């Protein structure tokens, strides 16, 4: 094995996860040893598993003042489908096959340049990180601070309609291949088995079958997981017969939570 030596966006498996106190302040820390197997190059993920490259970031779960490091905890929750209640779940659960997406960048500290994991996202994310969303406390503070100003600027126009809960009505799309090894294996669907369908027709029963408490991100992540599992190729390469199979069988592949 070798240490990862460059910046980029990668897919990686968590070979080993530990929870411990680290540093001079004995902060609760999640330590993950990743083995990288794909790298995003020109918008597509290429197989680099033969490099055997690894990287080990330290995720601080608390701050020096004793408060929870919300940003880090939320990132781990999204990436590992963790409920955020017990940190030792990450250590005690076998997540070796739970791939995630990491973005690396060089940082300089005490005149030493080191490669760090800058962002951690769910496997197959469209972006490499950097988009943050306010927690409930910050959300309330922002609305209290600028809500009236925004309404005044809008000139009394009607409020936006409340978004529907549960699955979105429009099927998400992903063009970059994220399962190079599976694609190379040549696993495809017999197009004569299922009646042709469109992506929209396949999405409708799938969305209805999703957990009603899931967010749009949850539904889309499961949508892509099922597509990868059933077809081993990105959604933009699916045929009408593939979508017919997805329409007929996709909802049954959803993993309930």
pLDDT digits (tens, 9 = 90+) for 218-247: 788 888 888 888 888 777 788 888 889 999
| Delimiting residues of CATH 2.40.50 domain(s) in the chain | 2-122
Place of tokens 């608390």: 62
> Each residue of 118-153: pLDDT tens digit?
999 999 886 554 445 666 777 777 877 776 767 666
Predicted local distance difference test score (pLDDT) of residue 134: 67
What is the SS3 assignment for 16?
Answer: strand
Fold of 2-122: OB fold (Dihydrolipoamide Acetyltransferase, E2P) (2.40.50)
Kindly tell me if the per-residue pLDDT of 167 is higher than 90: no
SS3 content of the chain, % helix, strand, coil (to 5): 35, 25, 40
- Please report which helix (H) or strand (E) contains residue 147, including its range: helix 136-154
Whether the CB-CB separation of 28 and 61 falls below 8 Å is answered with yes
Residue 62 has pLDDT above 70, yes or no: yes
Asked if the model's pLDDT at residue 166 lies above 70, the reply is no
pLDDT of amino acid 9: 94
């Amino acid at each position: 094995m070798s240490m990862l030596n460059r910046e980029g966006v990668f897919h990686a498996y968590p070979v080993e996860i530990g929870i411990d106190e680290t540093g001079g302040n004995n902060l609760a820390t999640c330590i993950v040893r990743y083995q990288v197997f794909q790298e995003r190059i020109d918008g597509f993920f290429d197989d680099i598993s033969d490099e055997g490259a690894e990287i080990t970031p330290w995720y601080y779960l608390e701050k020096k003042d004793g408060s929870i490091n919300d940003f880090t905890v939320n990132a781990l929750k999204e990436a590992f489908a963790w409920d955020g209640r017990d940190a030792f779940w990450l250590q005690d659960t076998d997540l070796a096959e739970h791939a995630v997406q990491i973005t690396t960048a060089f940082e300089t500290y005490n005149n030493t340049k080191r490669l760090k994991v800058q962002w951690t996202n769910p496997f197959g994310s469209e972006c490499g990180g950097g988009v943050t969303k306010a927690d409930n406390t910050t959300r309330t503070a922002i609305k209290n601070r600028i809500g009236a100003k925004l309404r005044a600027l809008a000139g009394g126009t009607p409020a936006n309609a409340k978004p529907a809960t549960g699955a979105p009505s429009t099927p998400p799309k992903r063009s970059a291949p994220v399962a190079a090894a599976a694609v190379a294996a040549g696993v495809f669907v017999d197009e004569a088995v299922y009646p042709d369908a469109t992506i929209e027709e396949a999405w409708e029963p799938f969305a209805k079958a999703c957990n009603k408490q899931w967010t749009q991100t949850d539904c889309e992540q499961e949508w892509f997981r099922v597509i990868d599992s059933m077809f081993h190729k990105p959604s933009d390469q699916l045929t009408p017969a593939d979508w017919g199979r997805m329409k007929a069988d996709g909802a049954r592949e959803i993993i309930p939570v």
